């Protein structure tokens, strides 16, 4: 039976009369369980801080360096256009999580079918575990250079750097595990402490970047022809980075009490932080390119500038805090997604499990020939798969089902969302068409030089899914 908004779902009662005395912040819900209003404790500013922390990280600096190939003006235009669009979609799916009270992957069940949703769920777990690996590895690279300045150790890329890199990975993995140890209760504590450190040290590092590089020279700089990035390609890279958060938003908005906390707060926090950090990454990368004559996105991290001024500890603290505040979102999203596949593992335990798994996977980039190529390929994979998925997700809720999902049907075999043996073949087919469409148009100059392929793919899959679904219902 469906839990009403003011009740604790039956799965949390289990005949235990002491549940009402439990600390409400300690309860973690499975993906398909509706969170009742009595258990919702994420306020407006909690969500703002959460999403500022999520986007305040080395990967955002690195993203800025990656799109600096579009020149300063192009990179900033892309940041100001592509990100707000992506985070409007974030707010839309956040609203769905608030209204229905279940996780993002549970929200895919009405469209893809109860068993069909396993496919996007596995994709989602790969994406968020992958982001935890990417964020941490980029942070550990920066840490290795700071360790070199502070202790004389070999930095990343130098002979003998494997030891310091592994040490950094172990330290960050342990901190990640501590940060998610109590689920959203510890995450709220981490974000509230982290936001103060991020704002203070982040602003300090931003000032140092602008004191080091001339903004006039940066604005007039043009990338070498072989490194120039088309605007459409930059939009796709930026959109893929930002849209990756969308499939983790409901994991948090299902715990909010107001529509504004579920929509405006994440939109405000995520957009502000990403534009800020991308801006710094663009300036740092172009500044180093002007100084050295070599364009390299690896120079997007201002930590080296701060370290060279004898303030390596400032950069080290900033990197550690920023990485942890980002990864708590990644790891909780991946862990809760796992409970959409199986309920044999409790939600909190699944979060611990993916955190430990991510720690081992962080060793893989150590043996890659080019981390930048892997990073760009990862973003392209996200843009291809998620853009096709998001159009279907939003079209199903807002147009096909008119904002009416039944939580009691999300697990019922033979019910409303069962389709054919638990799979909606039409949704899968539209998703495949969307992926093919993305792969077809992304290299075309018409799209590569203008709007990119991500947003057209979202529009196409949304329209196609609405047409085939409404035709079936009629």
pLDDT at 6: 37
Could you list the mean pLDDT of each consecutive 10-residue stretch along the chain, which spans 474 residues?
39 37 59 92 93 87 88 92 92 97 96 95 89 85 82 86 91 91 83 86 81 87 88 89 90 95 97 92 86 76 66 79 88 93 91 93 79 68 81 95 94 94 96 94 89 92 94 60
Q: How many CA atoms lie within 13 A of 26 on its CB side?
A: 5
Please state the domain extents for the chain. 30-383
CATH topology of domain 30-383: Hydantoin permease (1.10.4160)
Which residue in the block uniquely carries the two structure tokens 């843009």?
383
CA torsion, ordered 401, 3, 93, 262, to nearest 10 deg: 140
* Residue 395, C-beta contacts closer than 8 angstroms, at least 6 positions apart: 461, 462, 463, 465, 466, 469
Which residue in the block uniquely carries the two structure tokens 């019922």?
412
pLDDT at 123: 86
Coil, helix or strand for 448?
helix
pTM of the shown model: 0.86
pLDDT at 285: 86
Distance between alpha carbon 224 and the CA centroid of its chain, in Å?
A: 31
Residue 66: both structure tokens together: 């990656």
Q: What are phi and psi of 249, to 5 degrees?
A: -70, -40
DSSP-derived secondary structure for 403-423: T---GGGTT-TTSTT-TBTTB
**Which stretches within 56-183 are classed as H helix?**
58-67, 71-100, 109-112, 118-151, 162-179
CB 374 within 8 A of CB 367: no
Strand partners, 420: 423
Residue 392: both structure tokens together: 């279907």
């Amino acid at each position: 039976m469906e839990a009403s908004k003011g009740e604790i779902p039956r799965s949390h009662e289990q005949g235990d009369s002491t549940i009402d005395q439990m600390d409400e912040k300690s309860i973690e819900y499975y993906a398909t369980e509706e969170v009742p209003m009595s258990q919702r404790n994420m306020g407006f500013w909690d969500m703002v801080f959460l999403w500022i922390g999520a986007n305040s990280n080395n990967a955002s600096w690195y993203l800025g360096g990656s799109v600096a190939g579009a020149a300063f003006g192009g990179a900033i235009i892309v940041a100001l256009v592509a990100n707000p669009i992506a985070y409007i979609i974030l707010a839309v799916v956040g609203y769905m999580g608030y209204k229905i009270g279940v996780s993002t992957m549970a929200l895919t069940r009405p469209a893809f079918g109860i068993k069909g949703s396993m496919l996007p769920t596995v994709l989602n777990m790969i994406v968020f575990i992958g982001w935890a690996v990417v964020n941490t590895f980029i942070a550990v690279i920066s840490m290795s250079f700071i360790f070199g300045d502070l202790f004389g150790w070999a930095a990343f890329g130098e002979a003998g750097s494997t030891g310091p890199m592994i040490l950094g990975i172990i330290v960050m993995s342990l901190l990640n595990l501590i940060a998610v140890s109590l689920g959203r209760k510890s995450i709220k504590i981490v974000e509230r402490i982290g936001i103060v450190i991020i704002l203070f040290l982040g602003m300090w590092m931003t000032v140092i970047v602008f004191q080091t590089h001339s903004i006039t020279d940066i604005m007039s700089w043009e990338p070498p022809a072989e490194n120039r990035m088309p605007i459409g390609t930059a939009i796709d890279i930026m959109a893929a980075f930002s849209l990756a958060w969308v499939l983790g938003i409901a994991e948090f908005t299902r715990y909010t009490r107001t529509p504004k906390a579920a929509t405006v707060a994440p939109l405000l926090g995520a957009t502000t932080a990403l534009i800020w950090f991308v801006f710094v990454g663009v300036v740092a990368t172009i500044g180093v390119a002007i100084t050295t004559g070599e364009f390299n996105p690896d120079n997007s991290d201002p930590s080296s500038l701060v370290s060279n001024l004898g303030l390596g500890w400032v950069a080290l603290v900033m990197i550690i805090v920023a990485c942890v505040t980002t990864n708590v979102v990644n790891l909780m999203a991946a862990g809760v997604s796992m409970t959409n596949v199986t309920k044999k593992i409790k939600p909190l335990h699944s979060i611990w499990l993916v955190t430990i798994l991510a720690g081992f996977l962080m060793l893989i980039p150590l043996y890659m020939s080019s981390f930048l190529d892997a990073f760009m390929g990862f973003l392209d994979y996200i843009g291809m798969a998620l853009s096709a998925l998001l159009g279907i997700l939003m079209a199903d809720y807002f147009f096909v089902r008119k904002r009416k999902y039944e939580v009691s049907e999300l697990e019922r075999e033979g019910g409303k969302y069962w389709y054919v043996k638990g799979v909606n073949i039409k949704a899968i087919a539209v998703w495949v068409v969307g992926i093919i469409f993305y792969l077809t148009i992304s290299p075309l100059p018409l799209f590569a030089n203008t709007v990119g392929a991500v947003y057209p793919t979202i529009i196409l899959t949304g329209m196609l899914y609405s047409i085939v679904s409404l035709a079936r219902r009629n």
